[in-house]
Amino acid sequence: MHDRELNEECAVAGAFNIPNASKSVYFSLFALQHRGQEAAGISSSDGKKMHTIKDRGLVTSVFDDQKLATLKGHMAVGHTRYSTAGDDSILDAQPVYARYDLGEMAIVHNGNLTNAQSIRDKLISKGAIFQTFMDTENMIHLIAKSDEDKILDRIIDAVKKIEGAYSMIVQSRSKMFAMRDPHGFRPLSLAKLGEGYVVASETCAFDLIGATYIRDVKPGELLIFEKGQEPISMQIQEPTPKHCIFEYVYFARPDSDVYEQNVYSLRKKMGEILAKESPVEADMIIPVPDGGVPAAIGYAQASGIPFEMAIMRNHYVGRTFIEPTQEIRDLKVKMKLSPIRKMIEGKRVVIIDDSIVRGTTSKKIVRMLKDAGAKEVHFRVSSPPTTDPCFYGVDTPNKEKLIASHMTNQEICDYIEADSVAYLSKEGLFESVSNEDDSYCTACFTGEYLV
């Protein structure tokens, strides 16, 4: 699924008690760019004043040395955003910043609040005015309007009113607070850097800036960062872990450890189990780059069939706004993926991808391989059929657009014109990720929503 048919809605990062904290956050966001490419922002604090820059675009285009120099201070929070069509206004970029009776605050949020509308309606009926469509703005209002005197108590008060998925960092002028919803839907990890601390959506951010991973922020936990102190942990809500299993399948970077397990190793294992569950006689295993690579290596090693990078990916394709004409209708896929005809011609190939969403891209890939002379094309998917949309921070198409919600495997096979199609079973996925304690959200494979 190389063209990101499912999109993680954001990444968050925070740095505390670190000289030029905005630089550490900038590089963290750079490492987390895969989680959102539409907008990026950083708010820093020098203890007296906050400084915020946010804009549409990639992290490297929003910031340069000059801009980072204006983001002064020993603490900073940052965000990269993916936005759905129609709400890509700069107002919807984060951090969400506000002045209120206790001073200033900036919030970054990865996830989706499931009771956002009812909270917003209540706040509006009491006279609140909203500037954006973001559920994160609710949090600003809840903190600002709380009757408590201290920011910590106000945050706790606000957190008890929100439901759904949130890995969130709140920055005041002198403190930082990191928290995760009681289910821990989205990841959030803690690391040490020099005398200070870094919090980020994935550990690949720590590797880039040389921070040492300490542990994950626990579901339902609030971490408080104050100058001159170790982070203070408060378990403010009863933990009932339901980590997003799709982080392992698709979203997270393979070099990250998510929920304390390495993503690459798990993806490889998914491929190994898929090979055992759905073997096929073939001449080569080909991944859909880049997402299908670890699972394809696992499939190849378990089956003994050679692994070949027989589809090349062009890494320099951004967005194209030029719609291909009817005659060159497969151009969009061809601009990104190109098969090596001399390797494929006359061969029985197994193509491995991490998921099938709408089926349209998979169909084009099968046609591309057949046009390149493949004798047989067997499609193998290293996750179970995606049948239901996500309400916890991932942008998925409506249920009716998810091909597996209304077609059997055979119908999907006929639609994408492959010689066979097989998915990893749910049991196979659970075995890959050691789901012994039932601690994962699997709603997009099962339709069983927790919240």
The contact set with ligand SF4 (CB under 6 A) reads: 185, 244-246, 390, 392, 394, 441-444
Q: Angle at CA 341, nearest 5°, toward 336 and 346?
A: 135
Q: Tokens at residue 312, please?
A: 């090349």
Nearest Cα to Cα of residue 349 among 365, 331, 333: 365
> Which lies closer to ligand SF4 via its Cβ, residue 27 or residue 185?
185
8 A C-beta contact, residue 253 and residue 202: yes
> Which lies closer to ligand SF4 via its Cβ, residue 247 or residue 257?
247
> Which lies closer to ligand SF4 via its Cβ, residue 37 or residue 442?
442
> Which lies closer to ligand SF4 via its Cβ, residue 16 or residue 392?
392
Which residues, in sequence order, are bridge partners of residue 373?
A: none
Q: Side chain identity at 235, as an amino acid letter? A: Q
Burial code of 351-378, b = ≥16 C-beta within 10 A, e = fewer?
bbbbbbbebbbbbbbbbbbbebebebbb
Beta strands in 358-449 (DSSP E): 376-381, 394-395, 420-423, 440-441
> Which lies closer to ligand SF4 via its Cβ, residue 95 or residue 182?
182
> Which lies closer to ligand SF4 via its Cβ, residue 73 or residue 164?
164
> Using the 8-state DSSP alphabet, how is residue 326 labeled?
G
Question: Closest approach of Cβ 397 to ligand SF4, in Å?
Answer: 12
Q: Angle at CA 271, nearest 5°, toward 267 and 277?
A: 140
390 as an active site residue: the answer is no
Question: Closest approach of Cβ 163 to ligand SF4, in Å?
Answer: 14
Nearest Cα to Cα of residue 364 among 337, 397, 388, 326: 337
Alpha-carbon distance of 129 to 121, in angstroms, equals: 11
Question: Closest approach of Cβ 398 to ligand SF4, in Å?
Answer: 14
Question: Closest approach of Cβ 9 to ligand SF4, in Å?
Answer: 10
Question: Closest approach of Cβ 114 to ligand SF4, in Å?
Answer: 11
> Which lies closer to ligand SF4 via its Cβ, residue 343 or residue 443?
443
Q: What backbone torsions phi and psi does residue 108 show, to the nearest 5 degrees?
A: -125, 145
> Which lies closer to ligand SF4 via its Cβ, residue 244 or residue 285?
244
Residues with Cβ < 8 Å from 266, sequence gap 6 or more?
Answer: 248, 432, 433
Nearest Cα to Cα of residue 286 among 201, 204, 224, 370: 370
Question: Closest approach of Cβ 396 to ligand SF4, in Å?
Answer: 7
Alpha-carbon distance of 247 to 433, in angstroms, equals: 11
Q: Side chain identity at 239, as an amino acid letter? A: P
Nearest Cα to Cα of residue 348 among 285, 282, 296: 282
Q: Tokens at residue 182, please?
A: 């009681």
Catalytic residue among 10, 204, 413, 441: 10
Question: Closest approach of Cβ 254 to ligand SF4, in Å?
Answer: 17
Nearest Cα to Cα of residue 202 among 247, 245, 233, 235: 247
Q: Which residue has the tokens 């206004």?
A: 89
- Please list the active-site residues: 10
